[in-house]
Structure 1
Amino acid sequence: MRSKTSDQWRSILKSKTWDSPEGEKRIFSILKLSFDELKLPSLKQCFAYCSMFFKDFDIEKDDLIQLWMAQGWLHPCSDKNLEMEDRGNEYFKILLAKSFFQDITKDYAGNVTKCKMHDLVHDLAEHVSKSRNLRSHFSNGEVIGSNLLNFKSLHVLNLYKADIMELPISIGKLKHLRYLNVLKTRIKTFPKSIGQLYNLQTLKIPYHLEEFPKEIANLINLWHVYFGRYMKVPSGILGRLTNLRSLPFLKVGNKTGPGIRELSGLNQLHDNLSIYGLENVGDGEELKANLVEKRHIHKLILGWKLSRPSHYVENDDDVLEGLRPHSSLEFLEIQGFRGIKFPSWLLVANNLKEIKLLGCNNCEGVPVLGHLPNLSCVEIKRMENLTLIGSEFYGDNHVNCGNGSSKEARPLFPALKTLCIEEARNLIEWMEAPTERASVVFPCLEELTLIDCDQLISAPSHFPSLKKLVIENMENGGMPIASILSNQLTTLTHLRLWYVGGPTCLPEGMLENNKNLAHLDIVDCSELTCISPQSQGFEYCCASLSYLRIWDYDVVAL
């Protein structure tokens, strides 16, 4: 049993053995043995609890861990410095590795977010569950019964999709309640007694609700709160919830609503944080957010309103500079920034893996990024004032070139895999890397996308690992295409050219050099008259081609 890998277990789960009653019994007994091998009683309880979900239900990992936490099964061992949710993640990984979970869904960072249980695994969970735990109530869509509040020891009240318009006024009597989910109900207001649920850890509010219950300010043990984008949150509430681990977003108010200073003490926030309405941040207030102390935040979105009067953009530079995150940040998205320069703290964001710059229309240049060792994805969209991507983009001056006076060449953009530049309509020139570093730039770049860069007339020529090139809506695409598809390129597998003007022929040797080209998609490139001038012929050059589309013009030579 211990020798079986998770892949072997999955193959067993998918086999036809399940189709026979005898085979089903045998597999069930094997699964029972695997369950018995779980050493920790609390881990067995966590597995058995999964029987509370319907068969074939999409189980959200974070929600499941919060439910385990509400039951009190995730208290970490004294010899480990782990929080309850860290222990929950450990348990989830163990159960996943043993194939008790399947059909997983992952997020942008490759982390598991959802899973399901095979029917027989679900049956096992029901079998090993001693009894339906009266500390949990899961709604089946029915109306909440008045006798529910008689269960004073209730820890979990999951009313997801229940046909209810209100909660009982006496809900505050559920003093031990730690988890309350009323998503997708018709509830419009909460009773004031909600503020008496002092042990509540997780609260999920219907997204259609417009008024945030002020009484929630009393729930100082709250770890997770979920609400919709249009919720009107009064000022002074969120700042009191200093134990929060997750917050869907903070929308900074102008005259009403929360101020950015309410983030000051929320240093336990984990994973994702989105801050919108940054045009409403007054001079110096950004420092009160204290983002630099929030070491558990891995993804940060900073958003300004795109359409706003000019007097609302005077302090954008200072605000962004003052919103310096902790150095552990991995994903950064900046939306609607109308300042002129990007923050200096980007120079030392060495753990950054992904950056998106969206609608930063006043910036004339891009940030220095090429020296960042872990950066794997860069997305630049809607930068109207960007005219030049110069040598500073590569970060050459910020790379340690070895010891002392050594001229050892270190790679620029050493981990970058995808680069997208879109709607940079005034971009004219994209310069090569500095001459002494040209041979070590973009060593891992696999996907390059250029869309709506109408005036671009030059691009670099060194992309040693490029597999996918997409160029769309470019009137003067001839020279950039010739440069990118130079004789040095031999790794291309996917080429898409849509609505591109300029080239009359694909660069000589391009098809011949890229023997693994499998996808060639050319649409409405009106000046293109020649695909393959090579003497060997199109069929010889494109032996690996599995998709070909050439549309809306006459091809003179193939």
Structure 2
Amino acid sequence: MHTCASVNYADVVGREFDREIVVEMLLKSGNEPTLFVFPIVGVGGTGKTTLAKLVYNDRKIVRHFQLRLWVRVFKVDELLEQIVKSVREDICENLDMNELQNLVRKALHEKNYLIVLDDVWNEDPVKWDELKKLLMVGACGSKILVTTRLEEVASMMGTVPAYCLKGLLSEDCLILFLRNAFEQGQEVLYPNLVGIASDIVQKCEGNPLVLEAVGSSLYKKTEESLWNEVKNHWRWNSNQYDTAALRMIYEQLPSNLKVCLAYCSIFPKGSVIEIDKLIQLWVAEGLISQSSNESEDLEDIGIQYFQGLLSRSFFQEVEEYRSIFTSICRMHDLVHDLALSAAGFEFCTVTSHIQNISDEVRHVAFSDYDLSGKELPPSLLNNHALRTISFSVDGIGPMSTLYVENCMARFMQLRVLDMSDSCFDELPSSIGELKYLRYLDISGNGSIKELPDSINKLLSLQTLRVSHCAQLEGLPKDIGNLISLRHLHITTKQACFPDKAIGCLSSLRSLFIYSCNNLVSLSEGLQHLTSLRTLAIIGCPRLIFLPSAMKHLNALENLLIVDCEELALLEWQDIEGLRMVRSLVIGGLPELESKDVQCLGSLQMLVLAGLPQLDTLPRWLEGASVTLQYLRVERCPKFAALPKWLENLSSLEKLEISKCSTLFSWPERMSCLSNLKVRRIDN
């Protein structure tokens, strides 16, 4: 899907020369009769995407092109959808192909644009020709930049010879490696290790991904024997040094992180991964072990696991609340290949071409399979030990209730059942027989009207996602019986939630309320959710106020209120529970000002988005002057000035401002923000 094209220049080593060449190519004037397509080609991990981001954000490029778009997926319909959404924020979901094509033509018509198609794998010339015809409506001088591992793709798409991206120079390799292996400046204390590092980087062949991963694996490890062990590891002799190096790092992982990484193979290659969902899946599959501190939530331990893999470069492009609603990341294609290899026979993507599925398979993802039928693959029918069924690979779930019923009847040991983006109209009552089920996702189903009462028998269920189910009348009246439920994502037609429904879910850690168009009030039963840590209210246009019961949410750490057009936050200073809130996301509200709020003393992160009347930062933010680390303001057209008291935000590390066209200057004393590491301005 669409990915953020921002880049921290301080993190990039040794690509200045490459950037200048690509920028020069894209700025060449010419009257090309056909679309100008410039490919960047290189092996996995060499930094093609990073280079494309440097080019995309280059000042000359920004000034030259009227419109810049960054798109990662190369399925024509998804690509068109992302182009449209990049230009128009008011576009609804589920447009048909003709509507998409017309909107793309309007969006690009006679505009001088640059489109980056990142990480293209599709070698189908027919689909490329189909797309190219649509894109040729731009002004003369429009350009397309393509990144790909495949020379065949570069040859098919390019209208000029591809730029072959090579590895980094030796001195740049050492800089990048040492940056990941040591805290800043600490390498001078260990000259012997720096000498060993020089030998290690020669084996990495200039590949930035490998350099970062191997360097990270040695972070804060100062025993020479460990460094020599890495230098002399037998895997360096493999013909595929990149995957061999990642495999070497994988072998050093603790066993709990190994299984969690292997499980990530359930996600499609190149996909955006929702971090909360990943951790909930790990918990559901029993991959998270309780620590000696029994009061510590499994989700907290899961975050530690994620951070452990992130610190070794197994995840990348982490964006906190980049989508407003959740934090996301990606997994590099080479790491995904490693995860698949590590999963072995336990994981299988089932396609229409696969005939024989091993009895050892425990986790199944359906892709390119006829989901309109009623039959399961014959070789899967007797696998009664199956733990996971996911239909989310292609964004298309099952269409037949009978098909779903067959799944439930056959696989009684399921822990995870992901049927998101389905269109079956009834969830079979047999769902109640899956007594081991811990994770159920039927979000994005536009047909289902009710959930069977038998769902209340799922006493092991930890995560229930029924968001964006526009026809769902309501939740079962006895949903409070789900004593193990920790995460609930809902969309219903209800005007209010009964006190004895959600209010009885005392184990609930997160509650996401999406697109409840009739919702007028939240239940006072919220007062019983004393373990609730995340509350998100998104797209509820008739909601007028927050209930006083929120003052009892003493564990609340994350609060998101987005696109609630009638909701006024005038009395929220009375919500005592806010004193624990660490991240606050507010968007699409008519007003934001309130009395001075002094209870935000723990706030670390604030996102303000789509606030048409916001002209400066709210005064109550001063209450978080010692704690606030991340501040983002976006799509606020009247936002004209940053206040002078901004200099009091002594802990601020990251400041981002996007699509605030009225803002022209910074306060004079920005230099007082001594902890500021990132300052990003866009549009």
**TMscore range, shorter length:** 0.5 to 0.7
- Residues 49, 515 of structure 1: CA spacing in aligned structure 2 closer, same or farther, 3 A cutoff? closer
Alpha-carbon distance in 2 for matches of 1:373, 1:83: 17
Alpha-carbon distance in 2 for matches of 1:242, 1:56: 35
* Counterpart contact for 2:365–2:391, Cα < 8 Å: yes
Aligned to 1:420: 608
What does residue range 5-24 of structure 1 map to in structure 2 within 5 Å? 7-8=180-181, 17-19=203-205, 24=236
- Residues 347, 164 of structure 1: CA spacing in aligned structure 2 closer, same or farther, 3 A cutoff? closer
Select 2:437's aligned residue among 214, 222, 226. 222
Per-residue CA distance 1:77-96 (angstroms, 9 max, x = gap): 79785999888766655555
Q: Which structure is higher in RCO with an 8 Å CA cutoff and minimum separation 6?
A: 2
Per-residue CA distance 1:539-558 (angstroms, 9 max, x = gap): xxxxxx99999xxxxxxxxx
Matched AA of 1:178: R
Shift of 1:47: 6.0
Aligned to 1:166: 373
Alpha-carbon distance in 2 for matches of 1:206, 1:431: 39
Alpha-carbon distance in 1 for matches of 2:624, 2:301: 41
Shift of 1:246: 2.0
Alpha-carbon distance in 2 for matches of 1:367, 1:439: 16
Aligned to 1:344: 548
SS in 1 for 2:500: helix
What does residue range 69-84 of structure 1 map to in structure 2 within 5 Å? 74=287, 76=289
What does residue range 348-363 of structure 1 map to in structure 2 within 5 Å? 348-350=552-554, 351-356=556-561, 358-361=563-566, 363=568
Alpha-carbon distance in 2 for matches of 1:212, 1:279: 19
What does residue range 434-513 of structure 1 map to in structure 2 within 5 Å? 451=636, 462-465=645-648, 498=661
Select 2:491's aligned residue among 249, 267, 276. 276
Aligned to 1:211: 425
Per-residue CA distance 1:167-216 (angstroms, 9 max, x = gap): 52676643222212233368421434323221111122261423243133
Unaligned runs of 5+ in 2: 1-176, 183-196, 207-233, 674-678
SS in 2 for 1:247: strand
Matched AA of 2:458: L
Matched AA of 1:290: G
Per-residue CA distance 1:30-83 (angstroms, 9 max, x = gap): 76665554564x76566677789998787777887799889x884847978599
Aligned to 1:116: 332
Select 1:333's aligned residue among 521, 524, 537. 537
Aligned to 1:137: 348
Select 1:202's aligned residue among 412, 416, 419. 416
Matched AA of 1:345: A
Alpha-carbon distance in 1 for matches of 2:283, 2:657: 47
Would you say how many aligned residue pairs link Structure 1 and Structure 2?
A: 437
Alpha-carbon distance in 1 for matches of 2:658, 2:270: 40
Shift of 1:232: 0.3
- Residues 65, 25 of structure 1: CA spacing in aligned structure 2 closer, same or farther, 3 A cutoff? farther
- Residues 29, 444 of structure 1: CA spacing in aligned structure 2 closer, same or farther, 3 A cutoff? closer
What does residue range 372-387 of structure 1 map to in structure 2 within 5 Å? 372-379=579-586, 381-383=588-590
Alpha-carbon distance in 1 for matches of 2:455, 2:491: 15
Please tell me the root mean square deviation across aligned C-alpha atoms, in Å. 5.8
* Counterpart contact for 2:610–2:635, Cα < 8 Å: yes
* Counterpart contact for 1:224–1:246, Cα < 8 Å: yes
Matched AA of 1:326: T
SS in 2 for 1:293: coil
Select 1:182's aligned residue among 378, 382, 391. 391
Alpha-carbon distance in 2 for matches of 1:55, 1:547: 30
* Counterpart contact for 2:203–2:236, Cα < 8 Å: yes
* Counterpart contact for 1:389–1:430, Cα < 8 Å: no
SS in 1 for 2:203: helix
Alpha-carbon distance in 1 for matches of 2:266, 2:634: 46
SS in 2 for 1:213: coil
Matched AA of 2:440: V
SS in 1 for 2:586: strand
The reply to whether residue 300 of structure 1 matches residue 512 of structure 2 is: yes
SS in 2 for 1:248: strand
The reply to whether residue 259 of structure 1 matches residue 447 of structure 2 is: no
Select 1:249's aligned residue among 466, 473, 493. 466
- Residues 53, 352 of structure 1: CA spacing in aligned structure 2 closer, same or farther, 3 A cutoff? closer
Alpha-carbon distance in 1 for matches of 2:567, 2:645: 29
* Counterpart contact for 1:300–1:331, Cα < 8 Å: yes
* Counterpart contact for 1:332–1:355, Cα < 8 Å: yes
Identity of aligned residues (%): 16
Shift of 1:223: 1.6
Alpha-carbon distance in 2 for matches of 1:430, 1:38: 44
Alpha-carbon distance in 1 for matches of 2:635, 2:340: 51
* Counterpart contact for 2:388–2:417, Cα < 8 Å: yes
Matched AA of 1:289: I
- Residues 167, 452 of structure 1: CA spacing in aligned structure 2 closer, same or farther, 3 A cutoff? same
* Counterpart contact for 1:207–1:227, Cα < 8 Å: yes
* Counterpart contact for 1:179–1:201, Cα < 8 Å: yes
Aligned to 1:534: none
Shift of 1:293: 0.8
TM-score normalised according to structure 1 size: 0.57
* Counterpart contact for 1:292–1:326, Cα < 8 Å: no
Matched AA of 1:158: A
Greater helix fraction, Structure 1 or Structure 2: 2
TM-score normalised according to structure 2 size: 0.49
- Residues 294, 186 of structure 1: CA spacing in aligned structure 2 closer, same or farther, 3 A cutoff? closer
What does residue range 523-542 of structure 1 map to in structure 2 within 5 Å? none
- Residues 280, 79 of structure 1: CA spacing in aligned structure 2 closer, same or farther, 3 A cutoff? same
What does residue range 93-112 of structure 1 map to in structure 2 within 5 Å? 94-99=308-313, 101-108=314-321
